[in-house]
Amino acid sequence: MHPKSLTNSISVDAQIGADDMAALAELGFRSVINNRPDGEADDQPASAELAAAAARYSLAYRHVPVVSGQIIDADVDAFAQTLATMPPPVLAFCRTGTRSTMLWSLQASRSQSVEDIVRIAAAAGYDLDGLRPRLQVQHDRYAARAKSG
């Protein structure tokens, strides 16, 4: 387990296990978001197992499964809504942390510049250069909505 901070309220990591929940609580995390669909890999713990372990350590837990390489706007909306309702700091995880970082970046692009988002992700070890066009479209869409009131 190696959480990488994106902001003061969210970090990302690769796959965690039920036995990691105690350490997450000790590190001060209050919430966990699982972005992997159950059964994505044979050695992956089930979401129900992770939820039970999180509850033992008073961690809020949500399963927001997203298929790798197939993030759609509804996934971004679900992640944004979940993130907005969970007590921070939050740890979001997937197989490598990239999918969770992409979900964070796409929802963050609604209010932050693409350059800032790409820089933050890079500082955490995630290269989002290939996502720049989609981030810009998302940013422009929400900026236009805010302008029109």
Rounded Cα gap, residues 93 and 40, in angstroms? 13
CB proximity list for 12: less than 8 A, separation 6 or greater: 3, 4, 6, 91, 92, 93, 94, 97, 100, 101, 104, 124, 126
Query: Structural domain tally of the chain?
Result: 1
pLDDT of residue 145: 78
pLDDT at residue 144 in the model: 81
For the chain (149 residues), the mean pLDDT of every run of 10, in chain order, is: 96 97 98 97 95 98 95 96 97 97 96 96 97 94 78
What pLDDT, on a 0 to 100 scale, did the predictor assign at position 149? 64
- Contact indicator for 96, 85 with CB cutoff of 8 Å: no
Helix (H, G, I), strand (E, B) or coil at 93: strand
CA 41 to chain centroid: 19
* Residues 6+ positions from 22 with CB-CB distance below 8 Å: 57
C-alpha distances out from residue 49 to 3, 16, 24, 38, Å: 20, 11, 16, 11
- Residue 107 sits in a domain whose CATH number is 3.90.190.10
Print the domain residue range for 80. 4-148
The secondary element (H helix, E strand) that includes residue 11 is strand 10-13
Return the SS3 of 63: strand
Alpha helices in 15-131 (DSSP H): 21-26, 47-56, 73-85, 98-108, 114-123
Provide the pLDDT for residue 94: 97
Give the predicted TM-score (pTM) of the model.
0.95
